[in-house]
Chains A and B, each alone.
Chain A
Amino acid sequence: MAMKEDKNKIPVKFRKIKKSFMETISLNNDHSFMSFPKELNFHGKEKGEQVVLIVRSHWIVTVPYFFLAVLVFILPFVLASLMPTFFSSIALLISLVITSVLVSLGITVSTFVKWFYTVHIITDQRVVDLDFTSIMNHSMAEAQLEKIEDVTHKQLGVIGSIFDVGSVYIQTAGAQNEIEFSNVPRPREIHDILFDLLELKQKGEI
Chain B
Amino acid sequence: MMEILDNLSGHSVDTINIGIVSLLKLPLIIILFGNVLFAILLLLRIRILAETFETADNKLIRYLVRFYLFTSVIGSIIALLFLLIG
CB neighbours (8 Å) of B65 from chain A are 109, 113
Q: How far is the CA of A37 from the CA of B20 in the complex (A)?
A: 56
Give the A interface residue count (CB, 8 A).
Answer: 34
Q: Is the CB of B55 within 8 A of A106?
A: no
Count of residues in B whose CB is under 8 Å from the partner chain? 38
Segment 16-43 of A: residues with Cβ below 8 Å from B: 37, 39-43
Q: Which residues of B contact A117 (CB under 8 A)?
A: 46, 49, 53, 61
Chain B residues near A86: list those with CB within 8 A. 20-21
> B83, A95: Cβ atoms under 8 Å?
yes
A101 CA to B56 CA, complexed, in Å: 29
The dominant DSSP class at the A interface is: helix
A90 to B21, CA, bound (A): 12
Report if A135 contacts B (CB, 8 A): yes
- Tell me whether A103 and B31 are in contact in the complex, defined as CB-CB below 8 angstroms, given that A110-B38, A113-B46 are known contacts: yes
The answer, yes or no, to whether A80 is at the interface (CB within 8 Å) is no
**Which residues in chain B, 1-26, are within 8 Å of chain A measured between CB atoms?**
20-21, 24-25
Further 19 A-B residue pairs, CB within 8 A, beyond A98-B78, A101-B75, A113-B65? A39-B55, A40-B54, A43-B53, A86-B20, A92-B25, A92-B82, A92-B83, A95-B28, A95-B80, A96-B28, A98-B76, A102-B76, A106-B72, A109-B65, A113-B46, A130-B52, A135-B45, A138-B45, A138-B48
